[in-house]
Structure 1
Amino acid sequence: MARTLMLFLFGTLRYQPLLDLVAGEGLEQVPASLQGWRVSGVEGHGFPVMVQDAASVVHGVVISPSAAALDRLVHYEDAFGYVLTDVTVTTGGAELAAKVFVPPEMRWTPSGIWSLEDWAAREGARALFFAEEIMGYHGRFSGAALQFRRQQAEGRAQARVQAASMAAPVVGWDCPAERVEVTGRTADHAGYFVTETVNLRHPRFGGGMSEEITREVFVAADAAIVLPYDPVRDRILLVEQFRMGPWRRGAAYPFMLEPVAGRIDPGETAEDCARREAVEEAGLDLRELILIGAGYPTPGYSSEYFHVFAGICDLPDGIEGTHGQEDEDEDIRTHVLSWTQAEDLLSRGEADNMPLVLALVWLSRERSGLRGSG
């Protein structure tokens, strides 16, 4: 197999399971160093960057990939917008011409010291799930189209890690996912969301395996949902915006009242996301988050998983307004409702967003206790 060049690795690809998955072949890592640079973490991300520093040395490795492996490595780094550049490294006491992946311009903010060992323990599993999806796009997407899909792919990978760590059921069947036999899988659509067609067999309650079945599944990152509540004034806040689901169903009025909600970004907790979205969608600083529940809203066809909270906050007069992230084309109007008005939403069926229904029913049970402590 022809070898094309020496490639210097300083970051996450030094994690051997990730390198094997991305390259598609086993590659030996040979210790090497690069003078005049240092490795730094990136603010808001798990991966590192190299920063020029005349007094520093980057201790990494060199690999010698085949042409096919190099093509796969280039595809993976393309998801981050990284490109190859020439460097001279030292290995075995000799200088060697090599290439390294770097961003064409520094658009990240360097932050702190980065450690491969710490990263692998914290994010290694997520990185493997992410790479599995990204490498599935090899030959299908590149450049801006691939980079557009990166964040949601990271979110889906994070959701897989969270799902795999859930406790075994007490009442339900503790049949592990490993017993499901997948015989085929295709990503029919891969954009902000992914839709897959999967052929599989699963264990049956009476013993044995099912016949091969074909199912379509909608794959998305987890979401955090929060109903802001002011226990002193006995008020809730709702957001209103145009929603594709009601519109596509044929709803006569496709603008929906709902709690604050958003996708959990890579590296965020559900609580982090709930607080961030409260600021972005409603300009609110939540004092306290109370978990109402977490689960799958539509498990028959979707991987979506919702973390639903009540957010204790102040909702004074005059707080209503318009909000939203311009770069996400959000146009959001907020409404502050008394508890009587909120109950009316339920009774007349205007509360037709199920996380809102869940949150209002929960609040009807817990409201007196919250008011006593608010």
Structure 2
Amino acid sequence: MYAEQNQAYKEETMEIERIYEGKVISLQKDKVTLPDGNTAFREVVKHPGAVAVLAIWQNQMVVVEQYRKALERSLIEIPAGKLDPGEQPMDAAMRELKEETGFECKELRPICSFYTSPGFADEIIHLFLAEQLTQGESRLDEDEFLNKQFLTLEQAKAYVAEGKIRDAKTITAIYAWELYQKTGRMD
């Protein structure tokens, strides 16, 4: 884990103006002091964090296709969702896997955690591996509509090359899975 941070470029927050408080995100405008003493403004999207699951069923990854309003199109993605207040990432990952796909597993293995858009948002996604799945019924949220699919590694990589998969968490999961198949390790 990267322990040291270069403080030479640190920006000190002088003021925070809250612009919007929503169900999933909030937006604020921060007035900051730059390292050279000048001031600037930063627009920051605050997010509670999220989880994503690389679920493997019969040597295929479980994906869902769902419409994403921000992009005005459907995307093929691994199961994922936001953290509820006070929820641990592993618990959220198990919940999202069950809700979106109907699959359950006894154990999840952490793969990595990463920031989605650090230039303007603090969202972090915790990515997990789920194997030894048992099938059940999905329990979608009332405003959630999706289609579950299964892809081999070769199909998933072809979808990335063809632009059918363009979601960063899913691409990250695909290449982690490829590494895992080749080496037995995720790191």
Compute the displacement of 1:279 (Å).
0.6
SS in 2 for 1:246: coil
CA shift, 1:310, in A, is 1.8
User: Could you tell me the TM-score, scaled by structure 1's length?
Assistant: 0.45
Select which of 65, 68, 85 maps to 1:240: 65
Q: Secondary structure at the match of 2:94?
A: helix
Q: TM-score, normalization: structure 2?
A: 0.87
Taking a change above 3 Å as real, the CA distance of residues 219 and 347 of structure 1, as seen in their structure-2 partners, is same
Question: Per-residue deviation at 1:180?
Answer: 4.2
**Runs of 4 or more off by more than 6 Å in structure 1?**
none
Alignment of 1:44-193 (within 5 A): 169-170=3-4, 172-173=5-6, 175=7, 180-192=11-23, 193=25
- Work out the CA distance in 2 between the residues paired with 1:256 and 1:363: 19
Deviation at residue 227 of structure 1 after TM alignment: 1.5
Higher relative CO (Cα under 8 Å, sequence separation at least 6) belongs to 2
Shift of the alpha carbon at 1:229? 1.0
Could you give the per-residue CA deviations for residues 204-257 of structure 1, whole angstroms, max 9, x where no partner exists? 3xxxx4411011111110101111113xx211100111112212xxxxxx0111
Residue correspondence of structure 1 range 322-337 to structure 2 within 5 A: 324-326=140-142, 329-337=143-151
Q: Does 1:354 align with 2:173?
A: no
Identity of aligned residues (%): 23
1:266 corresponding residue in structure 2: 85
2:50–2:82 CA contact under 8 A, matched in 1:
yes
Kept in 2: contact 1:235–1:338 (CA 8 A): yes
The count of residues paired between Structure 1 and Structure 2 equals 184
Question: How far did residue 315 of structure 1 move?
Answer: 7.4
2:11/2:33 contact within 8 Å kept: yes
Q: For 1:339 and 1:181, how far apart are their aligned partners in 2?
A: 45
Matched-pair contact (CA < 8 Å) for 1:284–1:313: no
Q: Which runs of 5+ in 2 are unaligned?
A: none
The higher radius of gyration belongs to: 1
Write 1 or 2 for the structure with the bigger share of helix.
Answer: 1
Secondary structure class of the residue paired with 2:105: coil
Cα offset, 1:280, TM superposition? 0.7
Per-residue deviation at 1:323? 5.2
- Contact 1:224–1:264 at 8 Å: present in 2 too? yes
Change (3 A) 1:322 1:243: farther
- Does residue 257 in structure 1 map to residue 51 in structure 2? no
